[in-house]
Structure 1
Amino acid sequence: MITAENLTKRFGGHTAFDDISFTAEPGRVTGFLGPNGAGKSTTMRMIMGLDRPTSGRTTVNGRPFTEHTDPLRQAGALLDAQAAHPGRTATDHLRLLAASNALPQRRVPEVMALTGITDVAQRRIGSFSLGMTQRLGIAATMLGDPQVLIFDEPVNGLDPEGVHWVRGFARARAAEGRTVFLSSHLMSEMAQTADHIIVLGKGRVLADAPIRYFLRAADEHVTRVRVSDPSVLTSLIAADGVTITRTAKDTLEVVGVPAHLVARAAALENLELHELTPISASLEEAYLALTGDATEYRSDQAAA
């Protein structure tokens, strides 16, 4: 388990985040989201004891990470896949990590097999593709067979096969009862990977909920309706807080009225419904709606 308790971090006169608290629990993938500059990477570094908070604290399995005498058995973290020395072979890199943490050398071939890099074990890391470098970093996180895994942008720059593999790996480890805590800017991928979402923005926690509740809260009851007489239906459901847009001759997009109430209104006037489609918010739409006011850097114009 990972906890952050009343965490604050200031850089000079700039407050990265102020008094944030959250928990990443075992048995699920917790997605960590937020605009650039929100403090996601800084928070992950604090969890691993690489940065100090201005106030508050983080714990891994009930204790600050730096107090554990067997750190790689407690948590594995991939914060920078390029940190491995390019002149070493994959095997030598993992053997060194194992030896420095008093881990059995038999774990090296085991984690290589787990992450699919056995065939490149004797190649120098500098010759690796980005995908292989990421797999090596993930192999290193598993050396101590830890109960906590932390990944900062693990799918950045990967091809579809690599993204699919990371997703399956994360979900499989959570299914084993481990705590998996990862950040990503790929909303579609996070929607398929995470069970729970924590969103940072403007120095605070904007959301902390199971992904299904996060999406439900963002859903404005948007319904696409094809009906025999759109004008009559419009008059029936028009009210304060309801937005009705005519998108085609016989089609309306209704915001603010649940689909079953739209159907009831049409039935009362014997209108023929040809389509009634609730449109749920995607994770990307929900995220953008939540963080729109929390983005520190934005263009004044939409891209052409």
Structure 2
Amino acid sequence: MITAENLRKRYGSKTAVDGISFQLAPGKVTGFLGPNGSGKSTTMRMAVGLDKPTSGSVTIGGKSFPQHAAPLRTVGAVLDAGATHPGRTGRGHLQVLAATHKISKKRVDEVIELTGLGAASRKRIKSYSLGMNQRLGIAAALLGDPAVLIFDEPVNGLDPEGVRWVRSLARDMAAEGRTVFVSSHLMSEMSQTADHLIVLGQGRIIADAPIGQLLDSGEQRVLVRTEKPADLRRALGAEGVSIEQTDAETLEVTGLDARSIGRRALETQVVLHELTPQRSTLEDEYMKLTGEHVEYRSGGQEDRS
């Protein structure tokens, strides 16, 4: 379990993390989302003792990271996959880490196999691609068979097969009762991986809820296709109902559910060729949540911060 209580981190006049509190339960994948500069990586670094909180605390299993006698057996983290000695082989890197915790060579072989490093483990790290560095970082995180896993952008640089593998790994680890904490900018991937989401905006928590709850809270839309869109518009017209025509036969209706639309179409004898509820995507809800909390914007976008 990971617990943060009034966690705050300042760098000079800049507040990176602004008094956040949360508790991550075992057996779940918790996704960590937020715009660039929102404080995600800083929070993860404080969790594993790489940054010291200005105030508040973050503990793992009831202790701060430095208090654990054998941290690799408690927490596995991938925060910077490139933080390795380029002259070592992947296997050599893992063997050095294993030696610090009296972890067997057999376990080194197991994580090499599990992460798909295979023959590449005998090559020097300086020859690794970004994706292979990610696999090596994940192998190092799994060495001690820890109860807690913290992954910061673990699919960065991976091909589609690798992305799917990380997704399955995270879900499998959670199913075994581990606490899995994963940050990502890939909304489609997070929607398939996470059970729970924490969203940061400018260092503060703006959402902390099960992913299903966040998606269900979105505005419900229904896609309707008919040869008589004008007639259907008149039948559906009412206060609180929004209708957008996307092509000659297609309407997107907000404010009425599919059953109500179908009933009104029947009453007015309008034939429907499609009636499909459109559930909000995670990207839709994320953009709504973070719209006022984006610190860095692409050129041409209105600055609302």
Answer whether TM exceeds 0.5 for this pair.
yes
Structure 2 counterpart of 1:274: 273
C-alpha displacement of 1:65 = 1.3
Give the Cα separation in 2 of the matches to 1:260 and 1:182. Answer: 38
Runs of 4+ residues deviating >6 angstroms: none
Flag the 1:249–1:172 CA change in 2: closer, same or farther, 3 A: same
Distance in 2 (alpha carbons) for counterparts of 1:177 and 1:23? 15
Shift of residue 300 of structure 1? 4.7
Structure 2 distance, partners of 1:36, 1:225, is 37
Equivalences for residues 198-213 of structure 1 within 5 A = 198-213=198-213
What are the Cα deviations for residues 175-228 of structure 1, in whole angstroms up to 9, with x where unaligned? Answer: 21111111111111111111111110122111111211111112x111111235
Matches within 5 A, 1:80-159: 80-159=80-159
CA distance in 1, matches of 2:257, 2:8: 41
Identity of aligned residues (%): 59
47-56 vs 34-43, which moves further: 47-56
- 1:112 counterpart SS class: helix
Secondary structure of residue in 2 paired with 1:110: helix
Range with bigger deviation, 138-147 or 266-275: 266-275
The corresponding residue for 1:15 is 15
Cα deviation for residue 30 of structure 1 reads: 1.0
When the two structures are superposed, what TM-score results if normalisation uses the length of structure 1? Answer: 0.93
* Partner residue in 1 for 2:195: 195
Going from structure 1 to structure 2, the CA distance change for 1:211 and 1:97 (only over 3 Å counts) comes to same
Aligned to 1:230: 229
Which residue of structure 2 aligns with residue 54 of structure 1?
Answer: 54
Partner of 1:24: 24
How far apart, CA to CA, are the structure 1 residues paired with 2:118 and 2:209? 38
Query: After the TM superposition, which of the residue ranges 155-164 and 265-274 deviates more from structure 2?
Result: 265-274
Tell me if structure 2 keeps the 8 A contact 1:109–1:118: no
1:33 is displaced (CA, Å) by 0.5
Residue identity opposite 1:279 in structure 2: Q
Measure the CA separation in 2 of the matches of 1:202 and 1:241.
33
Give the Cα–Cα distance (whole angstroms) in 2 for the partners of residues 33 and 80 of structure 1: 17
Q: Distance in 1 between matches of 2:122 and 2:62?
A: 38
Is the CA contact (8 Å cut-off) linking 1:245 and 1:254 kept in structure 2? yes
Cα distance between partner residues in 1 of 2:220 and 2:274: 15
User: Partner of 2:145: helix, strand, or coil?
Assistant: coil
**Contact 1:221–1:259 (Cα < 8 Å) also in 2:** no
**Matched AA of 1:297:** Y
Give per-residue Cα distances to partners, 1:35-82, cap 9 Å, x unaligned. Answer: 000000000001001111121111111211111111111101010110
What letter corresponds to residue 249 of structure 1 in structure 2? Answer: A
Query: How far apart, CA to CA, are the structure 2 residues paired with 1:108 and 1:17?
Result: 36
User: In 2, Cα distance between the equivalents of 1:16 and 1:40?
Assistant: 9
Question: Which structure 1 segments of 5+ residues have no match?
Answer: none
Code of the aligned partner of 1:275: E
Distance 2:207 2:98 in 1: 38
Q: Partner of 1:186 in structure 2?
A: 186
**Aligned-partner SS, 1:82:** coil
For 1:201 and 1:238, the matched residues in 2 are separated by 37
Which secondary structure does the structure 2 equivalent of 1:167 belong to? Answer: helix
Secondary structure in structure 2 of the residue aligned to 1:225: strand
Partner of 1:170: 170
User: Could you tell me how far apart the structure 2 residues matched to 1:124 and 1:227 are?
Assistant: 62
- The residue that corresponds to 2:296 in the other structure is 297
The separation in 1 between residues aligned to 2:121 and 2:142, in whole angstroms, is 16
Aligned residue number for residue 216 of structure 2 = 216
Q: CA RMSD in A?
A: 1.6
Greater mean alpha carbon deviation, residues 31-40 or residues 184-193? 184-193
SS at match of 2:82: helix
- What is the TM-score with the length of structure 2 in the denominator? 0.93
The code of the aligned residue for 1:277 comes to T
- Amino acid corresponding to residue 282 of structure 1 in structure 2: T
